[in-house]
Structure 1
Amino acid sequence: MNRRVMAVTAAAVMSMSGFAVPAMADEEEAVSIQISASIMSMDPLIGGDSTNVAVISNTMEGLFVVDADGQIQNGLCDSYEVSDDQKTYTFHIRDNAKWSDGTPVTAQDFEYAWKRNATAQGDYSKFTYQIEMAAIKNYEAVTSGEADADELGVTAVDDNTLQVELEYPVPFFLNLLTFSPWAPVKESKLTEEGDQFGVDKDSVLYCGAYTLDQWDVGGNTIVLKKNPDYWDAENVDVDEIDLVVISDTQQAVMAYQNGDVDNVTLTGDMVSMYQDDPEFSNVLGSFNYYLMVNTTKDGYDNKDLRQAIAYAIDRESLCTNVLNDGSTPAYNMVMKGLVSNSDGEDFVDASGQYFQYDTEKAKELWAKAQEETDLREINIIYDEEKDFAANTAAFIQSQLESTLDGLTVNISSTPKKNRIQLAQDHDYDIELWAWGPDYADPTAILAMFESDHPSNYSLWSSDEFDKLYNEANTTLAGDETARWDNLIKCNDICTENAGCIPLFQTGSATLTKSNVTGITEHNTGVPCYYKFVEKD
C-alpha cells in the first residue's frame, strides 16, 4: 500500500462547485468526504446527528470502536473482565492513552463523563437515556435526581481501572459503549471552559485517532488531523480527513468528478445515472424517516387524522420515483437489519406492517376526522440542507391534497438546527424527522416513545406501551423470548397510533474513489471510524 501521496496544491483552491478545498502540507495523505450539514458542538452530550457523532468519536475515543467490518474492537480499553452474573464489568484503560494536552486519559475521566450524563439537565440531557439503557446500578434514582451522582454504579478503582455495576444483564452493553456519549471528558478542562466547552476546536481535549484542526460554526469544511500521540497511531493510514459540506447532490457529484472529494452521497436521479459506475455502491441505510406529529396540538391530537395521513402516502412510489436511492418503505417504527432473534427472524418482519397505501381507508378516516376536529390545514417543515427532503415533502403534499379532499398542506424548509430546536420546544405541527439507532436493539428506537423520554418530541404517550416497555427492560431482561414479544407489542402500539408516522428506511447510495476503502455507514451508533479508512 502506498501510504503517502503528494498534495496537489499547497493552498486551498475554490472548485467549480463553490466550496473551499483545504490546504495540505506536502507528503500528506488526505481523504475528503462530502457531508450535507456541519456539526453543532463538540460536547459529547450536545452533538447528536450522525456527522457530529462521527467527529466526536474519532477525536474523543471511548472504550470501544467499530471496525470497517462492523465488529467491536478495543479502543482506549486495553482489556476487561465480566462477572459470572454478567452484571459487573471491569475495564482496564491503556497506559499509553493520552489527551492532546499530554496528560494521561484515566478511569476518572470516564467516571466523570458518565456521571455528568446521568445528571444532565435541559439541552444536555438528550443522551441521559443511554444510562438507563445500560441499566447502570442506581440509574433510576440518579437520573431522576433522587440520588447523587456518586450513587451511580461507576467507579474509578484507580487511574487505569473502571468498574461498572449493572442492575441486570444488558446483552448490547459493549455496543452501547462505542457511541459518542460514552466518550471520556477531562473534568478540569470542562471546568476551565464552562459554558464554552465544545463551542470551538480549542475548547475541548482530544484522545482519538484524530484531532480537530479546522471547524468554524457556519463554515463548510471540517478538517481532522492524525493525532501523533494516539495509542494506535502507527496503524492509522490517512493523515487528514476533510469533511466538506455540499448539500446539493449535483454540486457534490461535480466536486467528485473534479477530484475535490473522494466520497459523495447520491440521491434522486443521480442514483440511476451512476448505478453502473464501478465506484457506485448502494446498501440499506441506518435511518428511518418519519412524519413526527405534535400530538398535543388541536387537531393533530386526533388519531383518525394522523392515520388518514399515514394511509394516504404511497411509500413505494416515494422510494422508487422520488428518492430512487435504495430507500425502502417503512411500515413500523424500527429499521430492518437492526436486530434478529436467536432464530434469525428480523424484528421488522416479526412486527406488524401498518399503513400500506390505501386511499379508500385514508378517505374514510379523513371523513371521521372532519367530524371530530376543525383542522383543515396542516404544516410540515423539513431541513433546507437536504434536497431529497424538499422532494419528499412536495410528494407528501401532493399525495395528501389529492386524496384528502379539503385538506391544505403547507410545506416549508428551515435550517436543521432550527428544526431540532422547534421539536425540543414542541413548537411545531409536523416535522420530517429521522431516527437512527445508537445500538443494536429495538429499544434504540422504541425508547424515544416512552412517555417521559426527553426525545419524545411528539409527546405521544400510552400507559400500555410504557408498561410493556418497562417490563422488557427490567423483569424480562434475561428472558429473550418474553422480552422480544413485549418489544414487538411496543412497536405495534407505537406504529398504529401514528404519533410518529414511518415513511421509509434510507438507502445509502454513494460514489467512492477506487483507491479509498473503509468509509462505512454502520447501521448503529457511529457511522464510521476513520482510523480504518485507507487510501492507496
Structure 2
Amino acid sequence: MSMKRKLLILLLGSTMMVTACSQGTANNDVKTENNTSTESEEFTGPKDYRSWTTSMSTFNPHMYTNSKAFSNLGTFVAAMASSDGSNQLTFVPHHASELPTSSDGGTTWTIKIRDGLTWNDGTPLNAATYEYSMKMLLDPKLVNKNAVYMFDTVVVKGAKDYYAGNISWEDVGVKLINDNELQIVLEYPATDLDFFTSLGSLIWPVKEDLYEATMNEDRTSTTYATTLDTTPSAGMFTLTEWITEGHDVHVVNENDPLVKEGYVHLDSINRRYISSSATRSEMFFKNELDQHSLSGDEYTQYKNDPRANPTLSPHVWGYFVNGASENKIMQSQDFRNALHYATPRETICEDVYVLYPSTPYMISTGIYVGDPISGGEYYRDTAPAKAIEEKWATNPDKALELFNKAYEENGGTPVTVEYIYFEGQEDQKRQAEVLQESLENLFGKDRFTLALRAVPPAAAYDLYRSGDYDLGLGVRLANVFNPWATLNVWTSDYADKYITGFENEEFDELQFESVYGSLVNDIKGKGEALARMEELLLEYGAFVPVMQNDNTVMYHERMELSTTEYLPFIGYSTNQLDIISAP
C-alpha cells in the first residue's frame, strides 16, 4: 500500500443526495472469507453495532476530551470517508449548509447554518445556538477544558482574552449575523484544512435552556450532559440509554442531514464500558463485540486475519529527558544524545509491544504535509525526513562513544539516573526493565545505574511540569495535518510546558511562522521547517522517541467498513459502518 494518498475535499451542498441504488451496490456486493452477501441476499435485520469504550462520565462537549464520543452531536463540518468506494477523506457540511468560506485569505470566515435543524425534543437549532455554545465554551467562570479549541490551532480573535476574563463577549470574533449565519474573525489567517479540522469539526452545540437549568448558583459549573435526562442530541445518532457505569445506546437520527444524504447505514450503536483488554478480547471472540484492538501475542496470531485492519498513529511515545535536572550528568548534551542512540527501541517494540514500529524520529509516519486539496504526502516520505531517520537511527557504538565523553567530563564518577514509568502498566514496566538492562550493560554497571520508579500517569506528568525528574515515559499528541501547531508544546513560552531545558529561538520562530506567519501557505517551506524543528529537538535531546502506537483493529466479519484504507483524521470512519449479516 502506498504511503501517498490523495485527499479530496468535496464541496457538497445540502441538496446532495446519495442514491439508494449506488449505496446498495457498494454495500451489498461484498465477499469475505467468512461470508458472502449479494444484492439478492441483502441483510434486513437490525443493524446494531456492538462497540465499546472505557467509560463515559459526561457528554458535555465543553468538558470531555474525546471527540469520538459525540456522534449524538453535529458540527459545522463532518470529516467522512467518500461514499463512492474510492477510499478518500472528504469534508462535508453537517449543520452548516455549505462548507465555511473566507473571502480575505483566511482571516474572516462565514458559516451558514441549515434550515430546519432541531434537537431531539424538536427545539430549533440555529446559528444563535452555536453562538451561545461558543460563548459558554469560553466562559471565564466555567473554565472549560475544551476552550482551547477556540484558540489552538486556529485563534479566534479575542477568545483567549475573554477566557481570561479580560474583555467582553462583544470584543470576541464571533458574530451572529442572523439565525442562519455566523461570522468568525481570526487573529491570524487559517487554511481551509486547518479551519475545517479545528473550529469546523471541534465545536459542538449545547442546548441553551438545559445548559442554563443545570448551572450552579454562582455559574462556575454545570451538570449538563451528566445524566440521560440532561443530555440532548442533535447529530447522526440520538442517545437513548446511558448507565454511567455500564453502557450507552445511540439510535440513528433520521432527521440528521448526513443520515438523509446516505452516509449512515447503522440503526444503532450499543457501547459497553470495558476497561480490561482481556475482557474485550474474550467478548470479541465469543461474538459479543464487533470490534477489538489487538496487542501482544494476539497481534502475532491474528495480524494476517482478513478481519484485522492496521491503523496509523500521528503520535510517537518515548521518554522526556530533563536537561535542566539537578543531576549533573543530565545537563550534558553528549549524555542525552548517548541515551538516544543507545535506546533499544527495536527490542522494546518487538519483545514487549510486538505490533508497534520503532521510531528513531519524533514526527510519526502518520503526519501528512502538503495541500490535501491538490495533493500532498506523508512527512516521513520526504527527503529531509528520511535523512533525519537515517542520521538518528539506533547506534550502540556511537552511544558508547558519547557516554564515555560525557562520563569523563562529569569527573569519571559513577552516575545514577532515574526513569519514571506509569504505575500499573505491565508493558511499560517491562519496557523500563529492557531499557535498564540494555543501558547498564552498554555503559557499564560499574559506571551507570538506571533506577526505575513507578508513578501514576497524572502524577508523572505533574513531575515533568515541575522538572522534578531525570527521564520520564510519555507522549505529546500531534495533529495529523498540522504538526507545526502541536509542536507548540516545545516553544519557550508554552503555558503547559514539560521542563526539559529545551528553549530555542530558531525553533520558536519556525513554529510561529508555520502556524501563523509567512509559511502558512508555503507548502515546501513548511515541510523544510518541520524537518529543521525535528532536528533541533533531537540535537538537544529533549525527548528520546521509542515507538509509534499503530494499533491493529479487528472488526467482526459481519461489519463492512466505509473505507478499506486507513484514512488520516478519521481512520475507518466507524459511524459509516454497515452490517451485512446477523451476529
TM-score of Structure 1 vs Structure 2, range by shorter chain: 0.7 to 0.9
| 2:372 maps to 1:335 | no
What letter corresponds to residue 251 of structure 2 in structure 1?
K
Q: 1:490 to 1:225 in 2, by over 3 A?
A: same
TM-fit CA distance, 1:461: 3.3
Q: 2:153–2:198: 8 Å Cα contact kept in structure 1?
A: no
Q: 1:464 to 1:177 in 2, by over 3 A?
A: closer
Q: 1:313–1:399: 8 Å Cα contact kept in structure 2?
A: yes
Q: 2:485–2:511: 8 Å Cα contact kept in structure 1?
A: no
Q: 1:83 to 1:247 in 2, by over 3 A?
A: closer
1:60 counterpart SS class: coil
**Count of aligned residue pairs for this structure pair:** 504
Q: 1:525 to 1:143 in 2, by over 3 A?
A: farther
Q: 1:129–1:453: 8 Å Cα contact kept in structure 2?
A: no
C-alpha distance in 2 between matches for 1:112 and 1:426: 39
Q: Tell me which of 481, 498, 504 is aligned to 2:547.
A: 504
Give 1:45-444 correspondences, 5 Å limit. 45-48=62-65, 52-56=66-70, 58-68=71-81, 69-80=88-99, 82-87=101-106, 88-117=108-137, 124-125=144-145, 128=148, 131-138=151-158, 147-166=167-186, 167-177=188-198, 181-194=202-215, 195=221, 196-215=223-242, 219=245, 221-227=247-253, 230-234=256-260, 235=262, 236-293=264-321, 297-299=325-327, 302=331, 304=333, 305-325=335-355, 327-341=356-370, 344=376, 346-348=378-380, 349=382, 350-351=384-385, 352-353=388-389, 355-367=392-404, 371=410, 376-382=416-422, 384=424, 388-404=427-443, 405=445, 406-412=448-454, 414=456, 430-444=471-485
TM-fit CA distance, 1:97: 2.2
Aligned position for 1:10: none
Structure 1 unaligned runs (5+)?
3-26
Q: 1:89 to 1:396 in 2, by over 3 A?
A: same
C-alpha distance in 2 between matches for 1:449 and 1:250: 36
What letter corresponds to residue 60 of structure 1 in structure 2?
L
C-alpha distance in 1 between matches for 2:140 and 2:469: 25
Q: 1:399 to 1:216 in 2, by over 3 A?
A: farther
| 2:44 maps to 1:31 | no
TM-fit CA distance, 1:526: 5.5
TM-fit CA distance, 1:259: 0.3
**For residues 274-309 of structure 1, what are the alpha-carbon distances to aligned partners after superposition, in whole Å with 9 as ceiling and x for unaligned?**
123222222433432132346654339635354333
1:341 counterpart SS class: strand
C-alpha distance in 2 between matches for 1:82 and 1:109: 20
Q: 1:74 to 1:260 in 2, by over 3 A?
A: same
**For residues 364-389 of structure 1, what are the alpha-carbon distances to aligned partners after superposition, in whole Å with 9 as ceiling and x for unaligned?**
444565528996141322274x6644
Q: 1:356 to 1:296 in 2, by over 3 A?
A: same
Q: 1:517 to 1:135 in 2, by over 3 A?
A: same
Q: 1:478 to 1:278 in 2, by over 3 A?
A: closer
Q: Tell me which of 457, 466, 471 is aligned to 2:513.
A: 471
**For residues 235-263 of structure 1, what are the alpha-carbon distances to aligned partners after superposition, in whole Å with 9 as ceiling and x for unaligned?**
43223323345455444332211001111
C-alpha distance in 2 between matches for 1:374 and 1:245: 49
What letter corresponds to residue 532 of structure 1 in structure 2?
Q
TM-fit CA distance, 1:77: 1.1
Query: What fraction of aligned residue pairs are identical, expressed as a percent?
Result: 21
Q: 1:474 to 1:283 in 2, by over 3 A?
A: closer
TM-fit CA distance, 1:216: 5.3
C-alpha distance in 2 between matches for 1:212 and 1:431: 40
Q: 1:229 to 1:84 in 2, by over 3 A?
A: closer
TM-fit CA distance, 1:31: 1.5
TM-fit CA distance, 1:47: 2.6
**For residues 459-510 of structure 1, what are the alpha-carbon distances to aligned partners after superposition, in whole Å with 9 as ceiling and x for unaligned?**
6433332122112233312333333333332222223323233222222212
Structure 2 unaligned runs (5+)?
1-23, 26-44, 82-87, 216-220
TM-fit CA distance, 1:267: 1.1
TM-score by length of 2: 0.74
Q: 1:126 to 1:89 in 2, by over 3 A?
A: closer
1:461 counterpart SS class: coil
C-alpha distance in 1 between matches for 2:149 and 2:504: 18
Q: 1:84 to 1:347 in 2, by over 3 A?
A: same
C-alpha distance in 2 between matches for 1:197 and 1:427: 37
Q: 2:360–2:394: 8 Å Cα contact kept in structure 1?
A: no
Q: 1:379 to 1:273 in 2, by over 3 A?
A: same
Q: 1:455 to 1:330 in 2, by over 3 A?
A: farther
Q: 2:365–2:379: 8 Å Cα contact kept in structure 1?
A: yes
**For residues 348-373 of structure 1, what are the alpha-carbon distances to aligned partners after superposition, in whole Å with 9 as ceiling and x for unaligned?**
34333364212233344445655289
Q: 1:469 to 1:298 in 2, by over 3 A?
A: same
**Which range is displaced more, 137-146 or 79-88?**
137-146
Q: 1:65–1:178: 8 Å Cα contact kept in structure 2?
A: no
2:551 counterpart SS class: strand
TM-fit CA distance, 1:62: 0.9
What letter corresponds to residue 94 of structure 1 in structure 2?
R
**Which range is displaced more, 517-526 or 276-285?**
517-526
Q: 1:430 to 1:213 in 2, by over 3 A?
A: farther
Q: 1:121 to 1:310 in 2, by over 3 A?
A: farther
Q: 1:399 to 1:495 in 2, by over 3 A?
A: same
The structure with the larger Rg is 2
